[in-house]
Amino acid sequence: MTADASAHNISRIIQTICPFCGVGCGIGLRVEQEKITGVEPLASHPVSQGKLCAKGWSTAYAVDPIDRITTPLIRENGSFRPASWDEAYQVITEAFLAAAAEKGADAVGVIACARATNEDCYAAQKFARAVLGTNNIDHCARICHSPSVAGLRQTLGSGAMTNSIDDIEKADLIVIFGCDPTENHSVLGGRIIGAKMAGARLLVVDPRLTRLARMADLHLQLQLGTNIALINGLLQIIFANGWEATEFLSSRCENETALRAKVAEYPPERVAAITGVPEEKLIAAARMYAKAERALLTYGMGITQYTTGTNNVISISNLALVAGQIGREGTGINPLRGQNNVQGACDMGALPNVFPGYQEVAQQTNRDKFADHWQKKLPENKGLTSLGMTKGALSGEVRCMLIMGEDPVVTDPDQHHVQRALEALDLLVVIELVMTETAAMADVILPAAAFSEKAGTFTNCERRVQLIQPAIAAPGEAKPDWQILGELASRLGYHHMDWPNAEAIFNEIAALSPLYQGMSYPKLAENHGLQWPCNEQAPNGTPLLHRQQFSRGKGRLIPVSHADPAEVPDEAYPLFFTTTRLHYHYGCGSMTRKSPLLERETPSGILFINPADAQALAIKPQTKVRISSRRGEVETGAIITDEVPPGTVAMPYHFKEAPSNRLTNTAQDPVTKMPELKACAVRVTNLEVEHK
Ligand code: SF4
């Protein structure tokens, strides 16, 4: 913004980053008379290159001040009343101190937010560790890509996307595993379609007949929850035919013998029986991937949201290592991070086991380093995950929680269980923009500034740290989350979070995290962001990881075995159920559902059902149906489509009127506690037949 534009109050464009998905497109917010009146794409942005998806174009609605929370609110006699910041902080500090005095520091838990800035997330984990004295800090990466972080750290030493979005156009084969980027990461999905049109081949592995599957050269339509069997089968074929990358395996990997022995248990006929994919398609896919010159593999929650999530990621890594499809441009393992700053929230250590930069809490040297900087003795106790905190609330172990901008009542599995847990707390504090289902259960709500009202950074899925800047003032008394947490810290007697601005926090992050060490706001502004690691060895950032060697040295091959989902269809619940996302909505819908344009595009709650299953139940388009699982039931309208295979139904999770998470299973991946959101068993009832 120029001084002239401000003085004359004429229309101006503020360059910033889209607040929705992990692609991190560049947007310009048009500001007129101190209101955001429109959005435009940034032609010069390296990722979005002048394009935006429907969500990006609708950003102005998402931050419309209508319905915003503008003062602190305290629950009294069953409803909320406005309160001063002083009063709200007083209520919170009394409850937090009482809980800690009675049950110890771990009686309080903090949930950070993958939509908030790096600075906010850094403040949240510092607040938990240095102020409250607990490692009970987590966020929604737990239920999206925690298995990527855990799995790839074991095999490669780093849990992030190995390559850059620009590599899509450098690959001659693009493999899409368990995701549909045209729905969830649409600008990136558009670049994949562009690459296909320009001659790249497309291999899609997905139980659904997605948009990209329809365009693919080969689609492996596997049975839900059979990823490991399928990948072990591909590896068996690769080894049996001598298609492995021999030189790469011997010089850069370890544990080949053990992997060979494991995958020998998965001959094509066995794998075809488990996965439902014909043997000839398995052989064709193995050949295609192993023999491609540059094969770029992307994956999403069709890999991670299983009780075998971490092992699924490990098997993806096995495949890329054996074929040597990593460490070069146009190749790699590329988990598509969902929310705009889920990569950053993980980088900031908003996780129970790591400090910023993935420095293990369990290591004394790391605790000493952070204790020195933060001037506070730090807890050694293992922290609880977000689902662990929910369980702890029910058992009485956790007495108070602070939730920053997330809506677990809508987004976490088994909604009734989450509601009971939050009701059981002595105090629930929610920092939010608008009244979500979770905020409605709070005892105290603190009003937060939106992304368009504050400075900070987001880190996209290709590890690009990008600046955002305020376009307008926050409404009423709303403030950035980091400022709220800093003020609360002071009330609790800790005075090393009283930063003057977001840039001071970023400088503290850079000083403590080797991944961000070489970054500063001026440097980020000059470069349209920088990709970590950025430090003395890589002052301009790192677009491609693992070029010469892996972060852990050698790439580790780890044998893993197929296991069925925790709950499979039976007589009482005869259909598989899976959750999906829609192009037009994002997360719990608290931002996208404010847009009339996006709301117009989809009905509020949908069950996708295959024509064969619909016929068996006399279901017609938009017939009202009830979906029941062992945990609850939901009523909604049916859409008949061959996008889902016979025997499997699917629901998007964005709609609070039809909350799919009333049905989902809390069974968890033993390593990361990721719940199995992608598979459970349900029964569908045609309500029109039942009511006759
Ligand atoms: Fe925003 Fe993602 Fe769409 Fe880009 S692809 S405009 S980052 S929602």
Which residue from 16, 17, 23, 462 has its CB within 8 A of the most atoms of ligand 1, so it is best to mutate?
23
The average pLDDT across 149-177 equals 94
Among 478, 503, 531, give the residue marking a domain's end: 531
The average pLDDT across 646-667 equals 81
Give the Å distance between the CA of 452 and the centre of ligand 1.
15
Confidence of residue 655 (pLDDT cuts 50, 70, 90): low
Residue 560 is assigned to a structural domain of this protein: no
Residue 38 is assigned to a structural domain of this protein: no
Residue 565 is assigned to a structural domain of this protein: no
Q: Which atom of ligand 1 is nearest to the CA of 185?
A: 5
Phi then psi dihedrals of residue 388, to 5 deg: -65, -40
**Shared-domain flag, residues 595 and 638:** yes
The phi-psi region of residue 286 (left if phi > 0; otherwise alpha if psi is between -120 and 50; otherwise beta) is alpha
Which residue from 29, 39, 45, 53 has its CB within 8 A of the most atoms of ligand 1, so it is best to mutate?
53
Which residue from 52, 58, 584 has its CB within 8 A of the most atoms of ligand 1, so it is best to mutate?
52
The average pLDDT across 304-317 equals 94
Contact call for residues 582 and 55 (beta carbons, < 8 A): no
- Residue 23 in contact with ligand 1 by CB distance below 6 A: yes
Residue 580 is assigned to a structural domain of this protein: yes
- Residue 312 in contact with ligand 1 by CB distance below 6 A: no
The average pLDDT across 460-466 equals 96
Among 513, 531, 549, give the residue marking a domain's end: 531
Q: What's 138's domain CATH number? A: 3.40.50.740
What's the pLDDT score for residue 487? Answer: 98
Average pLDDT, the chain: 92
Burial class (CB in 10 A: 0-12, 13-18, 19+), 8: exposed
- The predicted-structure confidence for 197-252, as pLDDT tens digits, reads as follows 999 999 999 999 999 999 999 999 999 999 999 999 999 999 999 999 999 999 99
The average pLDDT across 288-298 equals 98
**Shared-domain flag, residues 305 and 360:** no
Is 603's pLDDT higher than 70?
no
> What span, in angstroms and rounded, lies between the C-alpha atoms of 335 and 347?
15
Give the Å distance between the CA of 537 and the centre of ligand 1.
31
> What span, in angstroms and rounded, lies between the C-alpha atoms of 538 and 581?
37
**Shared-domain flag, residues 195 and 282:** yes
Q: Which atom of ligand 1 is nearest to the CA of 20?
A: 8
452 to 27, 35, 525: CA distances (angstroms): 11, 11, 17
Give the Å distance between the CA of 51 and the centre of ligand 1.
9
What's the pLDDT score for residue 589? Answer: 64
Confidence of residue 1 (pLDDT cuts 50, 70, 90): very low
- The predicted-structure confidence for 44-64, as pLDDT tens digits, reads as follows 899 999 999 988 888 777 666
Number of structural domains in the chain: 3
- Provide the domain limits for residue 229: 162-336
- Residue 583 in contact with ligand 1 by CB distance below 6 A: no
Q: What's 326's domain CATH number? A: 3.40.228.10
**Shared-domain flag, residues 285 and 364:** no
- Residue 598 in contact with ligand 1 by CB distance below 6 A: no
342 to 6, 346, 570, 593, 682: CA distances (angstroms): 33, 6, 36, 21, 30
**Shared-domain flag, residues 187 and 331:** yes
Residue 541 is assigned to a structural domain of this protein: no
Contact call for residues 172 and 292 (beta carbons, < 8 A): yes
**Shared-domain flag, residues 385 and 348:** yes
**Shared-domain flag, residues 419 and 459:** yes
- Residue 115 in contact with ligand 1 by CB distance below 6 A: no
Q: What percent of the chain has pLDDT over 90?
A: 78
**Shared-domain flag, residues 322 and 368:** no
**Shared-domain flag, residues 422 and 349:** yes
Which residue from 17, 27, 29, 55 has its CB within 8 A of the most atoms of ligand 1, so it is best to mutate?
55
**Shared-domain flag, residues 330 and 346:** no
Residue 422 is assigned to a structural domain of this protein: yes
Contact call for residues 623 and 657 (beta carbons, < 8 A): no
What's the pLDDT score for residue 668? Answer: 87
Q: What's 591's domain CATH number? A: 2.40.40.20
The average pLDDT across 656-660 equals 70
Residue 258 is assigned to a structural domain of this protein: yes
- The predicted-structure confidence for 497-519, as pLDDT tens digits, reads as follows 999 999 999 999 999 999 999 99
- Residue 165 in contact with ligand 1 by CB distance below 6 A: no
Contact call for residues 308 and 228 (beta carbons, < 8 A): yes
The average pLDDT across 640-657 equals 86
Give the Å distance between the CA of 187 and the centre of ligand 1.
6
**Shared-domain flag, residues 266 and 189:** yes
Among 315, 336, 357, give the residue marking a domain's end: 336
Residue 109 is assigned to a structural domain of this protein: yes
Q: Which atom of ligand 1 is nearest to the CA of 57?
A: 6
**Shared-domain flag, residues 324 and 345:** no
Q: Which atom of ligand 1 is nearest to the CA of 17?
A: 7
